[in-house]
Amino acid sequence: MNQPRSPAPATRRGNDPRPGTRDSAADPQGAMTAGSDPATSAWALMSDFVHGHDPADELRRELGLGRGAGRVKALVSLAARPLSLAELAQAIGADPSYTTIIVNELQALGLLSRTPDAQDRRRKTVELTAAGQDAMRKAREIIARPPSPLRDLPAPDLLRLREILSQLSHP
């Protein structure tokens, strides 16, 4: 017996490996494709919205950090407390040699300092400078600012969205 063919998977943007990311030109309204359930469709739309409004580029541009997400991750990781180079590498998910390159670049920008560890002078402790703390304040403002399509929704829609997301966050 011949089975109907499954619909083609959603088109992905560029080399984006995230499942469910759709090419907005191929599916401009995020319409459900035949056979997809509402949860899958909602998840794809949420993922597309969040990833489509990622503040990483604005953070790198506004903070003068250049390319690569490691610099932003390093600043965020150091916001709470100083870390050793090894701890920082683990926090940002990078190998120690790449972390050293990031630290060198951020240090050259005056955003952090590196000092010998008080207990083990072979280890280096990395911490934000005053300029690095200012950069983190600016980064927090950028990260906390909702994207304009969200800000532009009518208040009742925002309240309902908040209610739904709250239900998802606290089942």
Considering the domain delimited by 56-143, tell me its CATH architecture. Answer: Orthogonal Bundle (1.10)
- pLDDT by 10s per residue, the chain, length 171: 444 333 333 333 444 444 444 444 445 454 555 557 899 999 999 999 988 888 888 888 888 887 777 888 899 999 999 999 999 999 999 999 999 999 999 999 999 999 998 888 888 899 999 999 999 999 999 989 999 999 999 999 999 999 999 998 887
pLDDT of amino acid 24: 42
Listed residue (55, 58, 99) closest to 77, CA to CA: 99
Whether the CB-CB separation of 125 and 84 falls below 8 Å is answered with yes
Whether the CB-CB separation of 66 and 88 falls below 8 Å is answered with no
